[in-house]
Structure 1
Amino acid sequence: MIRGRVRQVAALRWRTGGLLLAVLVIVALPYMVTRGGAQQSLEAGELVTRSAEVQALVYRIADQTHDSESAIQYLLADNPYIRAEETAQTAERIVPNLLDQLHHLVADNPEQEHLVDQLSAVENGRLALLNQAMQRYQEHDIAGAGQALRDAGALFRIDDIANRIVQNAEQQLLLRREAARQQSHNSSLVMALTAVAQLVMLTIVVVVSERQIGERLRAEIGERQAVQRSQMILQAVREPIALLDNSLRTLLVNAAFSELYGVSEDSRGEYLDDIGQGAWTDEVLQQRLRDVLLRDRELWDYELNQRTIDGVERHVVVNARRLQQEDSENPALLLTVSDITARALVEQQVKELNHQLESKVTQISDVNRELEAFSYSVSHDLRAPLRHITAFAQKLELHLGEDADATTHHYLGVIRDASQRMAQLIEDLLVFSRLGRGALRLQAVDMHALVDEARSFAESEAPGRNIEWQIEPLPVVVGDENMLRTVWQNLIGNAVKYTGQCSAARITVSARRAEGGEYEFTVADNGAGFDMRYVGKLFGVFQRLHKVSEFPGNGIGLANVQRIVTRHGGRVWAEGEPGRGARFHFTLAAVEPPVNNGLPLS
């Protein structure tokens, strides 16, 4: 306690000496003011020089650009001089560096900096056209090169902006000279005021110094308390933390580090690679930590496996950064460790599950391809025997002639009808198989035109029908035109078919922009409708909700619609009510078609 008091008294004496030194500084203030005036004069001279440099750089940039243009003009006139091509390309090589120098010179003046930005934009545009002219000249496109050269002079006028920059520099020079004169006047005034202020400051220093000393002592006490609180927090943190010197020896470790690696909390000077029974002997980590100390490179999330003092294999993440010690010139290293063993196990499990999922997806894709190939093969091979059945049924009917009775004609008619229906089923199955294999030919597709075409075709198949059509404006989308034509023919054909028993059929075709940004198309009718309990069967192959005697068909059209829409990245669904009609919806991505003269995109 007595020694601490003696140190405080000594500190007070040193502070008193500091106050006396402050008095001497106050006396020397007039000298500093005079010196400041001289410094301002030097700065004014530097500003004048800088203004001249700005003007010289602007003229040099303009001259270099004009020289390149002149060289290109000589080349275009078929009258080149020696090194004309090199001169034509000099501006592109030199002007960007000159512009960077000019930006540096005017960095303290926003107005000039704005003008230089304009000059850079114009100069870059002009250089780009000069480069284009040179490229066209090298490609023997003289007319194109001349046009590019004329465009450079007409679109990017650098002389006007250069003159504005020079005029602004001259104005700034005048303003700076006036400011220097005003500063000189102010310096004289400050000298007078300084003499008065010296007496006031001498009084204030004596009165305030003692108060400052007391505040400093209270601040030191508060600082010691803050250090103690920081140490308490450090020891309470459950994440291992260590402070190492520039030789990777311990300066401080918290309780978590001590517990995990078996080192004493008050240990100092123990090398890191001796801690934790070899947990820190990783050579790469050691080198990375030395790089942090030598080059001030922070180490982020370095992962490694460690066997800690409890014999458990842990997966940890190490972070480190350099700290500068207040009481030493040598830096210190703050090391933190995070145990991510549980997270690493979860990530490994996720990777394994993803790998299994990828294998399942591959298997499903292979099965789908095999099913499509099988469907196509079966459908194709069934055609030949079916044609034989139909042909021999016709031959049998001709062979029997008038000898055949009514029952025989009925049986032969059933065979013919069944053969035709089977042929149509096979044809539809082939179409369904091809829709899954063929490549999409993406192009701009006018959906309104496809709807008009599908409506005309459906009306021709149902002559004499009274159908009220309401077709709203439809957008242009990107897709396979033939496939989308099949979609509209099936949906509109179904609407016409299932309103066949209505005295006044109403069919509505509309489109809107859905919340997800895609287009949603809808075909609605007031026909037979369907029970929503069986909506899951609508889009299945050969699935029907009505009898063939009521409405003809084979139940594959909606399956084709779903396959086409799905291949376009959309979705399809339906809503209906028995006797009150149905509404079929499908979506397509709202992609603006590029201008490509009607050619397919892929």
Structure 2
Amino acid sequence: MIRGTVRQVAALRWRTGGLLLAVLVIVALPYMIMRGGSRQALDAGELVTRAAEVQALVYRIADQTYDSEAAIQHLLADDPYARGEETVQNAERLVPNLLDQLHRLVADNAEQEHLVEQLSAVENGRLALLHQALQRYKHNDAIGAGQALRDAGNLFRIDDIASRLVGSAELQLQHRREAAQQLSRDSSTALALTAIAQLVMLTIVVVVSERQIGKRLRAEIGERQAVQRSQMILQAVREPIALLDNSLRTLLVNAAFSELYGVSEDSRAEYLDDIGQGAWADEVLQQRLRDVLLRDRELWDYELTQRTIDGVERHVVINARRLQQQDSENPVLLLTVSDVTARALVEQQVKELNHQLEGKVVQISDVNRELEAFSYSVSHDLRAPLRHITAFAQKLELHLGDDVDVTTHHYLGVIRDASQRMAQLIDDLLVFSRLGRGALRLQAVDMQSLVDEARMLAESEVPDRHIEWQVDPMPVVVGDENMLRTVWQNLIGNAVKYTGQTRTAYIRVSVEHGESGDFEFTVSDNGAGFDMRYVDKLFGVFQRLHKASEFPGNGIGLANVQRIVSRHGGRVWAEGEPGQGAQFHFTLSAVEPPVANEWVSP
């Protein structure tokens, strides 16, 4: 219904817009054309007047000049009525003003302005010679005055320039007349086109109006069909739905509501607290529903335990919101009910499982503390005999002095080395155990600084070796800095160690950003390598693929690497070939690593 109303409003707006456009075309457009034609006609008249003024000014300037020359000639002829001096003075006073007016009139025409400048130059020169002729006449130099008068006519001719200027004005006048005629024709054409446009617009308005009427009739039919479909959907929904008035009386209920609470689908004006044999008698709920109606507060996920008409106690979640009716000022209440009995039972089971899990966590914490105490005890109890063995071996060697034979010296050295190796194994095993129990201290870790630190540490242990490094720029990740430092020290240290028998060691540290968003780090070398048939033993505790006499070590470093990377949510793997070097890979998430499962250290 709302959608149909929106369409009707939109259609009305389009129809109104079309009518306004038609009015604009029919009324305003002819007015604008006539107004534009009138303005252009006035402009053309003004231009014609200006052309006539240009011609008149040119003629006046020429007349003033010729009058001055004629007056001087009368003076030379001893005409008693000649007013030569007055005429020349008038010309000298009027001609500059007339030239200024002429300049202003032709300011918008470059060609005429150039001609006026030439005319000004000629006039100024001619008036100057006329003035000279008058002065010579006053000094009784009639011959000089006549010569100046002849020079003025010969040197500064104004007829040609004046004719060209008048001809230019006449040509411009002719062009303006032709433009006026073209404007008249254009106006006639525009009026004809406007009449055609008016007919077209009126036709469009009529056609659109008829179509809109037809669309409105079809929309009303579609709206009735939509209401029927909405009612079908409402009745088919298995979630109980009811529509209540402002007194909490039923206006409409669907089949699910009727089935659950025993109310007829056709019932009207039945109070909510009388439905379902008191299922809705909860006073708090009714007050909340009234608040929804009065204050337009939506009710979300209100949990209630109800005994429905079938005698079953159900856990339900109630939602309600206020709706405004189009044909009434009184609001209505849309009420929906969700049966969450099964969910409530699951939540109860989850609570019980959580309680059991908390007990298991306590047990695991106790076991971890016991293991910590056991590790400390084992470490202390094992180190004491080792210290005794080492101490008494040293004392025995001192007691025997320099007379000890080579075999005895060798045996004492084996005892001493074995005890030191055993102490190192105990320390490594304790470190491996702590890696599984300690909490991750997550922070931003600059892998570049860790790689550089591990590289310098490894090089300091073999200062006489030649190693060529290739290190890619490393990213910043989120992880435990101390643990990741251990990873790099083990992998780079192994690369340096297992290239010890090569003349020139080539070690590359690279990184790639995978499609999954994880970083894949790789440490490659050209060292001893390994047989891929035994790759599964690489990351085991105390597992070694080379003899201790060839390459020293305890076989626990890669186990530490695997445990650290696993706790960061990544994985570790290796590739190699005997005598051809090895590549060790591990991955880390580009974001904060997932919380790894804590386990009890063996």
Q: Normalization by structure 2: what TM-score? A: 0.53
Letter in 2 for 1:573: V
Cα distance between partner residues in 2 of 1:252 and 1:591: 53
User: Is the contact between residue 454 and residue 493 of structure 2 (CA under 8 Å) also seen in structure 1?
Assistant: no
The offset of 1:448, in angstroms, is 5.0
Q: Which residue of 2 aligns with 1:153?
A: none
Cα distance between partner residues in 2 of 1:323 and 1:441: 51
The structure number with the bigger radius of gyration is 2
Note if 1:453 corresponds to 2:456: yes
Q: Normalization by structure 1: what TM-score? A: 0.53
Cα distance between partner residues in 2 of 1:218 and 1:515: 54
Task: Write the mapping of 1:254-265 to structure 2, written as runs, cut at 5 A.
Answer: 254-265=254-265
The offset of 1:330, in angstroms, is 3.6
Structure 2 vs 1, CA of residues 364 and 559 (structure 1 numbering), >3 Å: closer, same or farther? farther
Q: Which residue of 2 aligns with 1:577?
A: 576
Structure 2 vs 1, CA of residues 315 and 264 (structure 1 numbering), >3 Å: closer, same or farther? same
Gaps of 5+ in 2: 1-204, 593-602
SS at the partner of 1:323?
strand
Cα distance between partner residues in 2 of 1:292 and 1:565: 55
Cα distance between partner residues in 2 of 1:220 and 1:420: 97
SS at the partner of 1:510?
strand
Q: Which residue of 1 aligns with 2:311?
A: 311
Q: Which residue of 2 aligns with 1:300?
A: 300
User: Is the contact between residue 448 and residue 475 of structure 1 (CA under 8 Å) also seen in structure 2?
Assistant: no
The offset of 1:361, in angstroms, is 5.1
Letter in 1 for 2:460: F
Note if 1:425 corresponds to 2:422: no
User: Is the contact between residue 470 and residue 509 of structure 1 (CA under 8 Å) also seen in structure 2?
Assistant: yes
Gaps of 5+ in 1: 1-203, 593-602
The offset of 1:334, in angstroms, is 2.4
The offset of 1:318, in angstroms, is 1.8
Structure 2 vs 1, CA of residues 511 and 233 (structure 1 numbering), >3 Å: closer, same or farther? closer
Letter in 1 for 2:452: A
Q: Which residue of 2 aligns with 1:389?
A: 389
Q: Which residue of 2 aligns with 1:339?
A: 339
Structure 2 vs 1, CA of residues 430 and 233 (structure 1 numbering), >3 Å: closer, same or farther? closer
Structure 2 vs 1, CA of residues 536 and 364 (structure 1 numbering), >3 Å: closer, same or farther? farther
The offset of 1:291, in angstroms, is 1.2
User: Is the contact between residue 570 and residue 589 of structure 2 (CA under 8 Å) also seen in structure 1?
Assistant: no
Structure 2 vs 1, CA of residues 540 and 372 (structure 1 numbering), >3 Å: closer, same or farther? farther
The offset of 1:408, in angstroms, is 4.9
Cα distance between partner residues in 2 of 1:261 and 1:576: 70
Cα distance between partner residues in 2 of 1:373 and 1:312: 56
Letter in 1 for 2:551: F
Letter in 2 for 1:421: R
Cα distance between partner residues in 2 of 1:230 and 1:449: 70
User: Is the contact between residue 451 and residue 488 of structure 2 (CA under 8 Å) also seen in structure 1?
Assistant: no
SS at the partner of 1:456?
helix
The offset of 1:386, in angstroms, is 1.0
Cα distance between partner residues in 1 of 2:441 and 2:279: 58
CA offsets per residue over residues 468-507 of structure 1, 9 Å max, x none?
4333344567877766554433222211222344455432
Query: Please, what is the CA RMSD of the aligned residues?
Result: 4.3
Structure 2 vs 1, CA of residues 492 and 271 (structure 1 numbering), >3 Å: closer, same or farther? same
Structure 2 vs 1, CA of residues 222 and 381 (structure 1 numbering), >3 Å: closer, same or farther? closer
Structure 2 vs 1, CA of residues 548 and 452 (structure 1 numbering), >3 Å: closer, same or farther? closer
Cα distance between partner residues in 2 of 1:273 and 1:571: 60
Letter in 1 for 2:547: K
My pick for the range that moved more, 235-244 or 274-283, is 235-244
How many matched pairs?
Answer: 382
Q: Which residue of 2 aligns with 1:489?
A: 489
Structure 2 vs 1, CA of residues 479 and 309 (structure 1 numbering), >3 Å: closer, same or farther? closer
Structure 2 vs 1, CA of residues 227 and 468 (structure 1 numbering), >3 Å: closer, same or farther? closer
Structure 2 vs 1, CA of residues 483 and 264 (structure 1 numbering), >3 Å: closer, same or farther? closer
State the identity %: 80
CA offsets per residue over residues 348-372 of structure 1, 9 Å max, x none?
4455555555654564455445434
User: Is the contact between residue 576 and residue 583 of structure 2 (CA under 8 Å) also seen in structure 1?
Assistant: no
User: Is the contact between residue 447 and residue 476 of structure 1 (CA under 8 Å) also seen in structure 2?
Assistant: no
User: Is the contact between residue 565 and residue 572 of structure 2 (CA under 8 Å) also seen in structure 1?
Assistant: no
User: Is the contact between residue 393 and residue 412 of structure 1 (CA under 8 Å) also seen in structure 2?
Assistant: yes
Note if 1:287 corresponds to 2:287: yes
